[in-house]
A and B are shown apart, each in its own frame.
Chain A
Amino acid sequence: MENQSLYPAVTKTLTGIQGFDEITHGGLPRGGTTLIMGGPGCGKTVFALQSLVSGLERTKEAGIFVGFEESTRQIMGNAATFGWDLNALAKKKLYFFDARLSPESVKAGDFDLIGMLSLLRAKAEAMNARRIVFDGIDVLLGLLDDPVAERREIYRIRDWLAETGLTGIITQKVGGIEIDQRYNFLQFMVDCVVILRHQVVDGSAFRSLRVMKYRGSPFMGDEFPIMLTKEGMQLTHRGPTELKYAVTDERVSSGIPRLDSMLRGGYHRGSFVLISGSPGTAKSTLSGLFVAAACRRGERTLYVSFDEGAAQIVRNLRSVGIRLAPFQKSGLLKMYSTRTRGPNIEDQFSNLRAQVRAHRPRCLVIDPLSALSTKVAHIASADAAQQFLDFLKVEGITVVNTSLMDGISSNEETATGISTIADTWIHVSYVVQDGERNRALTIVKSRGTGHSNQVRELTLSNKGVDLTDVYAAQGRVLMGVARWEWEQGERAERKRTQVSNELKHLHLQLAQAEAAARLKVIQTEIEAREAEIAVLLEATGSASRLVKTDRAALRKLRHADEEVGRGRGLGAPVKNGVGGH
């Protein structure tokens, strides 16, 4: 089954504008017409000129630039700021046609471009030009003051382009509903439409480009942020679509041993850490500890602060026992302070990237990242932020970001997207209890680590920073003085219990001894009784023997006759002559 496309494949020609050729899969339609629309100062002329110049470099195609709005000198002057040496080029492959109507011209009646186009055709043939730009055509056609006539002339240009086979770029200023309505038809006539925008949000400039239409070809229709750099216009580099970076099991210290153990070792090397919390919750302190630990390991570190001077930060940290000055001196630590107001966000990240490249840190702090988040409303900023973070990931830099957040759920973190990117998220909050404010630290999440979900109390003193256990007693979390009191109470209780136990032990021992003693007494008594009984028995025995003996003697004494006489009555006859009758 053959797959047939609806349209014949469109031949394209490169513009040389980085990013644009990619989103259009090859550049502008060759032999067709492209319309560049945008308000004043959006970069239409830059786009048009750059596609001539850069396109020339890539494809060796000569081009003609017809300027209706600016003089040739003006245009070339603007181009020079981008480092394009137009003088050299103009000699062979680039021709500037000043099509401005001189100031002393007066309009009287209808006119057309027939003459001009024939001039241009002659020129194009002479230089073998393949591209042509009509820059600011609305300036000229506006003079016609007749929409029908304007339309006619534009059709004329389009047909002319089709005839000559030149690739045409027309730039047109838009702005104001009237103008837009007037030129609305243009969009339908041409093969490709590109819209440039220039917005100012909170004092920062955002430029963007969007391909609105591309006949016969797929294209990426999103609005892309663009930059005007030293080299010209380019779509902000989105970075690699595939995020490849090495992952390691190595851990780096957070600066607080207790926190390291809560995280089962510390932060992952090369990960992003987010420390959030209300103002004054010691986020900078935690950053400082991280930095100090990194420097002690001998690792280069960069501390980026917004709206607070480096000297101030170092001084504040010193008051809690963190000394960064020696590391600054040795060159391991670089402190970079900048303002959030001022340069636009892309420039900001550009600066940061340059700083990172210059200092080559392994560890980085951005304090606070949320300073930039106010500017992140625009898609360009979110892009720029994302790219910068991607860059850091690829470099394997461990980053600690602080963020001003009152609660865990807030709009800010979603604006920068850092909360989803962050591998570890630590939140410090205030707990007000019993007339005291104490700081509570909790690990909200830590990817790739089982972590303690317990809240710890963060204490700051001139001796340093520590994490202590909090007590959950009777359903309340106790911190600060309350905790101390409770601790004391606990200790006292333990003591009491111990003493009481010892006492009991003693009592029992005594009782046991008593019992043993009593046992002894009873045993002695038993022995005594036994002895008595023995004596008694002895006595009884002798007594009965005695009785028997006595009785026999007595009988003897009495006459044996009596015994015989009586016969059997007295017992057995005495046969033996015992006794002396």
Chain B
Amino acid sequence: MLRLYVAGAAPNSLRAVTNARAICEGQSAPGFELEIVDVLKHPRRALADGVLVTPTLLRVSPLPTLKIVGSLSDKDQVLLMLVAK
């Protein structure tokens, strides 16, 4: 379960959305669900999760929680991190 926090239509955030989707829909990804939360619209949710910088990708499950900050430009690297224990 992944949660991506974005800041509206900011360039980094848009890139992150694209990249995150690509990772999730890719073959090597073991069925991650992606939820996209707009910080501008739902600030409290961001605070609750301790998210400040955008974009931030939160791996809610499997534990442990992982936060990846940034536009996720290096998709392979991100994938590696997501699947690692």
A-B contact count (CB 8 A): 97
Interface residues of A in 84-137 (CB under 8 A from B): 99, 101-102, 104-116, 118-119, 122
Q: Which of A105, A109, A119 contacts B72 (CB 8 A)?
A: A109
Residues of A within 8 A of B56 (CB): 105, 111
Interface residues of B in 1-19 (CB under 8 A from A): 5-8, 10, 12-13, 15-16, 19
Residues of A within 8 A of B71 (CB): 108-111
Interface residues of B in 38-62 (CB under 8 A from A): 39-40, 43, 46-47, 50-57
**A140 is an interface residue with CB less than 8 A from chain B:** yes
**Do the beta carbons of A101 and B53 come within 8 Å of each other?**
yes
Q: Which of A108, A110, A118 contacts B39 (CB 8 A)?
A: A118
Residues of A within 8 A of B52 (CB): 99, 101, 115-116, 119
Residues of A within 8 A of B10 (CB): 112, 114
For the residues of B in contact with A, the DSSP-based class is mixed
Chain B, 64-84, contact with A by CB distance < 8 Å: what is the 0/1 string? Answer: 111111111110011001000
Q: Which of B8, B77, B81 contacts A114 (CB 8 A)?
A: B8
Residues of B within 8 A of A109 (CB): 12, 15-16, 19, 70-74
Residues of A within 8 A of B57 (CB): 108
**Chain A interface: which size bin?**
20 to 34
**Do the beta carbons of B67 and A106 come within 8 Å of each other?**
yes
Q: Which of A99, A110, A115, A143 has the most CB of B within 10 A?
A: A115
Q: Nearest A residue to B77 by beta-carbon distance?
A: A108
Known: A109-B74, A140-B53. A115 touches B67 (CB 8 A): no
Q: Once the chains are docked, how many angstroms separate the CA of A116 from the CA of B34?
A: 22
**Do the beta carbons of B54 and A114 come within 8 Å of each other?**
yes
**Do the beta carbons of B7 and A108 come within 8 Å of each other?**
no
**Do the beta carbons of A108 and B69 come within 8 Å of each other?**
yes
**Do the beta carbons of B53 and A110 come within 8 Å of each other?**
no
Q: Which of B8, B19, B46, B64 contacts A119 (CB 8 A)?
A: B46
Known: A104-B64, A110-B12. A115 touches B40 (CB 8 A): yes
Whole-angstrom distance between the Cβ of B70 and the nearest chain A Cβ: 3
**Do the beta carbons of B7 and A104 come within 8 Å of each other?**
no
Residues of B within 8 A of A112 (CB): 7, 10, 12, 53-54
Q: Once the chains are docked, how many angstroms separate the CA of A101 from the CA of B70?
A: 12
Q: Once the chains are docked, how many angstroms separate the CA of A474 from the CA of B12?
A: 98
Residues of A within 8 A of B43 (CB): 118-119, 122
Q: Once the chains are docked, how many angstroms separate the CA of A194 from the CA of B25?
A: 51
**Do the beta carbons of B73 and A108 come within 8 Å of each other?**
yes
Q: Which of A101, A105, A111 contacts B12 (CB 8 A)?
A: A111
Q: Which of A101, A107, A119, A122 has the most CB of B within 10 A?
A: A119
Residues of A within 8 A of B7 (CB): 112, 114-115, 118
Residues of B within 8 A of A110 (CB): 12, 15, 70-71, 73
17 more CB-based (< 8 A) A-B contacts, given A110-B12, A119-B52: A101-B67, A102-B67, A104-B65, A106-B67, A107-B70, A108-B57, A108-B74, A108-B78, A111-B55, A111-B69, A115-B5, A115-B6, A115-B7, A115-B55, A116-B52, A119-B46, A119-B47
Chain A residues at the B interface, C-beta cutoff of 8 Å: 99, 101-102, 104-116, 118-119, 122, 140, 143
